[in-house]
């Protein structure tokens, strides 16, 4: 792999703009190379010179000949001179150092290109140093804050665990190993217990009860010196140390990669120009803050020492495995099983189609009853598999274009699922579902299994139970951390607005707004197996019940109402008017959903007009929000017309195609108002399934561009690690602990 590609793959995605622009400098070197090649060809095969240019050409040849005949005559400091300068720092209001290279050969043929190269090189070098120094200074300040927090945590530990008993037990069991630690405890006991008189503990782990209490009480609470407070404070501070250590490792890698990039580009310059300027410039690089500063390295050592001692009981192996988790290895068995399950799915689909056509089931008398009962039961899984396949495609393209979806969603490092893992789950579920469908058909039509009619009808319910049991399985199988993460987000959505709204929470709630038909199918499961006569495959009790239809409307509203509550919570926390407008958008969608549902049940020209008007307003509102707010597109003054300034995808046309598809797929509601569900060539439930699938596809497209825009926002603010709330706050501004 060439260095340019390797360099790009090892950079921190959110800091990409702060790295040395290796591609740009390499482009300048390519121009210098082309210029020199033209110069060489003109010397080997000179054209007949015009009389007016004869003297200039001869002078040029003589000078060039001297240069080429004795390349080692000049000393390296006569090629370039790098000066260190002082200039005002507008951002921090002080003075910062910068470097400026004086190129001594600019009068030569093609020297102007080399002069441009060194100007670009200086610009990149100064940019890198400024960014690194800024981040290093931020890290020092964060270390001071963590040190203060650690003092408070140690004091709280001593207060909670009764230091007299702790020390006595330690002397009995660890006297020969841990004498130094006991001395540290005594020191903290004497010097740090008064810290507790000047600190308060921030709100503990958020729960619905704590949120309700916070409406009437202050968000900060006095210390009660109990084990629960200690556990929660320790958990927050441990996570803060993990994120801080990751940031320090990013900084260390940033310095190393940029030094290597400057070395590579200067060696390439020497090779192209046959000069020896790299030594002089690289000496400047080695003597700069980028190379000489050891603050980051020292902080890494201190963080690791403190983390191992206070969060891992001195177990270095466990501490280092936690701080520096090993990267995931690609498992070939995952690829193997993805292929197997995909093949099984295709084979089962062919078998089902062959069975239906061989027995002419589409023209049988039970066709309508089957479409009204069994078809909705299995399409629930079809919607789920389609959504998972769209997510797998998104993960693939997020990975390909280096969208840091793991950081954005907040996955624990190394636990995020790749696109192959998502495909494995998708095709595995599809095999289960298709096998159940085929078994259902065979058991129903085979005379030997006619007596198992009840068992035949219970197959879909059994499949739902299996999927639910897998989702809540407490054992460490089938990506337990991801399942737990998903269930926590679902719980946060259900309890909205009682939890702090994070991106995974409202992102998942948006997915639910595109899975309304799946939620209605769940309602049908409850009704069909609870109140319907499933043994006779009769769903009349459900489909003709006014209560069932009313609940169906409520279920369709619930996902949008969750988003409204989330917007209210975010508005109350940040007083952001954008969230108020977003809440109005979902309210308009609720009005459209309710009016369309009422029209589909009761008909009437008045309801039709109301449904069409509310749906039109909601569609315009939602489409504008998708394109402008969620995707960040339709910018008039952008360098990319009607797009945003920064784009990740290489082709602009993809963004326009996505915008057009978003508009078209959002108009799928028109089939309800225009009575397309009455078409004789397609069953009503089949059309509903197609429209629901189109909405899932639209949501999948939306997901990619929404996360791309979020990634670019993080890039613009250089946010590469999570901000963890610290456990302790201080009375007033007194932090001298």
Nearest to 542 by CA among 555, 524, 556, 557: 524
What is the mean pLDDT for each group of 10 consecutive residues in the chain (737 residues)?
86 92 93 86 63 38 35 54 76 72 81 90 95 94 92 85 52 44 41 70 67 58 71 90 94 95 94 89 92 92 93 90 79 92 96 86 76 90 96 96 92 88 96 92 70 78 94 92 95 93 95 95 92 78 87 94 95 86 95 90 86 92 94 89 91 95 87 59 84 95 96 85 83 54
* Torsion of the alpha carbons at 460, 462, 467 and 472, rounded to the nearest 10: 150
Residues sharing a CB contact under 8 Å with residue 35, sequence separation 6 or more, in sequence order: 110, 113
Long-range contacts, stretch 452-461, CB < 8 angstroms, 24+ apart: 453/535, 454/535, 457/534, 457/535, 457/537, 458/529, 458/534, 460/374, 460/377, 460/378, 460/436, 460/525, 461/377, 461/525, 461/529
Residue 671 has a pLDDT of 67
For residue 567, the SS3 value is helix
Q: For 736, which DSSP code?
A: -
- What is the value of pTM for the model shown? 0.84
Q: Where are the domains of the chain?
A: 1-31+71-324, 332-716
Residue 212 has a pLDDT of 66
Residues sharing a CB contact under 8 Å with residue 348, sequence separation 6 or more, in sequence order: 431, 434, 435, 437, 438
Nearest to 191 by CA among 737, 713, 618, 597: 737
What tokens appear for 72 in the block? 């080692």
CA 490 to each of CA 17, 471, 484, 511, 655: distance values in angstroms, whole numbers, following the listed order: 36, 12, 10, 11, 31
Return the HEC string of 478-521: CCHHHHHHHHHHHHHHHCCCCCCCCHHHHHHHHHHHCCHHHHHH
Residues sharing a CB contact under 8 Å with residue 713, sequence separation 6 or more, in sequence order: none
Q: Which helix (H) or strand (E) holds 657?
A: helix 653-666
Distance of alpha carbon 234 from alpha carbon 726, whole angstroms: 10
Residue 180 has a pLDDT of 42
Strands 199-201 and 728-730 come out as: antiparallel
What tokens appear for 547 in the block? 């209560």
Residue 250 has a pLDDT of 94
For residue 39, the SS3 value is helix
With beta carbons less than 8 A apart as the criterion, state whether 91 and 718 touch: no
Residue 49 has a pLDDT of 53
The CA radius of gyration of the chain, in Å to the nearest whole number, is 33
């Amino acid at each position: 792999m060439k260095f340019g590609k390797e360099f790009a793959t090892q950079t921190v995605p959110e800091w990409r703009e702060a790295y040395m622009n290796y591609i740009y400098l390499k482009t300048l070197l390519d121009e210098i190379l082309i210029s020199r090649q033209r110069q060489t060809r003109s010397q080997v095969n000179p054209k007949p010179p015009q009389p007016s240019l004869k003297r200039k050409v001869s002078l040029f040849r003589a000078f060039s000949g001297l240069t080429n005949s004795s390349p080692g005559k000049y000393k390296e400091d006569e090629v370039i001179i790098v000066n260190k300068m002082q200039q005002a720092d507008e951002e921090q209001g002080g003075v910062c150092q910068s470097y400026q290279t004086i190129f001594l050969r600019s009068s030569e043929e093609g020297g102007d290109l080399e002069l441009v190269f060194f100007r670009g090189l200086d610009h990149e070098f100064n940019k890198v140093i400024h960014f690194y120094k800024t981040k290093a200074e931020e890290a020092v300040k964060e270390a001071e804050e963590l040190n203060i927090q650690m003092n408070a945590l140690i004091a709280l530990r001593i207060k909670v665990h009764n230091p007299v008993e702790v020390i006595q037990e330690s002397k009995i069991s660890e006297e020969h190993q841990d004498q130094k630690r006991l001395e540290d405890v005594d020191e903290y006991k004497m010097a740090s217990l008064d810290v507790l008189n000047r600190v308060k503990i921030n709100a503990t782990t958020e729960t619905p009860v704590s949120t309700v209490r916070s409406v009437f009480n202050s968000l900060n609470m006095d210390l009660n010196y109990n084990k629960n407070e200690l556990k929660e404070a320790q958990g927050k501070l441990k996570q803060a140390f993990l994120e801080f250590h990751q940031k320090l490792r990013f900084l260390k890698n940033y310095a190393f990669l940029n030094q290597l990039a400057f070395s590579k580009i200067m060696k390439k310059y020497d090779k192209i120009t046959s000069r020896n300027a790299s030594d002089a410039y690289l000496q400047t690089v080695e003597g700069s803050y980028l190379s000489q500063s050891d603050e980051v390295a020292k902080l890494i050592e201190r963080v690791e020492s403190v983390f191992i001692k206070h969060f891992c009981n001195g177990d270095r192996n466990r501490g280092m495995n936690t701080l520096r988790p090993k990267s995931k290895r690609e498992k070939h068995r995952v690829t193997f099983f993805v292929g197997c399950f995909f093949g099984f799915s295709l084979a089962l689909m062919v078998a089902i189609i062959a069975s239906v056509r061989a027995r002419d089931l589409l023209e049988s008398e039970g066709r309508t009853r089957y479409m009204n009962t069994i078809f909705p039961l299995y399409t629930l899984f079809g919607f789920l598999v389609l959504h998972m396949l769209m997510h797998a495609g998104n993960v693939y393209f997020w990975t390909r274009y280096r969208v840091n979806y793991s950081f954005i969603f907040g996955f624990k490092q190394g636990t995020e699922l790749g696109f192959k893992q998502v495909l494995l789950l998708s095709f595995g579920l599809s095999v289960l579902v298709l096998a159940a469908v085929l078994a259902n058909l065979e058991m129903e039509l085979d005379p030997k299994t006619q007596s198992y009619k009840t068992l035949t009808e219970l197959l879909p319910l059994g499949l739902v139970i299996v999927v639910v049991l897998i989702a809540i399985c407490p054992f460490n199988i089938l990506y337990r951390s991801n399942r737990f993460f998903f269930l926590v987000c679902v719980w946060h959505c259900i309890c909205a607005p009682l939890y702090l709204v994070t991106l995974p929470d409202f992102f998942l709630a948006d997915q639910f707004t595109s899975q309304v038909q799946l939620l209605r199918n769940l309602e049908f499961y409850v009704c069909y197996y609870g109140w319907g006569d499933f043994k006779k495959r009769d769903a009349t009790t459900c489909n003709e019940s006014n209560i069932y239809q009313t609940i169906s409307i409520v279920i369709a509203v619930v996902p949008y109402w969750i988003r409204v509550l989330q917007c209210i919570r975010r508005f109350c926390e940040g007083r952001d008017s954008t969230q108020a407008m977003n809440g109005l958008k979902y309210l308009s969608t609720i009005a459209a959903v309710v009016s369309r549902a009422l029209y589909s049940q009761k008909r009437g020209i008045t309801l039709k007009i109301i449904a069409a008007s509310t749906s039109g307003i909601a569609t315009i509102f939602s489409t504008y929000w998708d394109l402008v707010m969620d995707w960040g597109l339709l910018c008039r003054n952008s360098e990319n017309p009607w797009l945003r300034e920064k784009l990740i995808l290489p082709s602009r046309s993809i963004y326009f195609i996505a915008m057009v598809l978003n508009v078209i797929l959002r108009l799928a509601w028109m089939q309800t108002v225009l009575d397309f569900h009455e078409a004789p060539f397609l069953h009503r439930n089949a059309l509903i399934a197609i429209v629901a699938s189109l909405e899932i596809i639209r949501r999948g497209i939306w997901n990619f561009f929404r996360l791309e825009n979020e990634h670019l926002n993080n890039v613009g603010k250089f946010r590469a690690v999570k901000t963890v709330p610290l456990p302790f706050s201080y009375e007033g501004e007194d932090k001298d602990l």
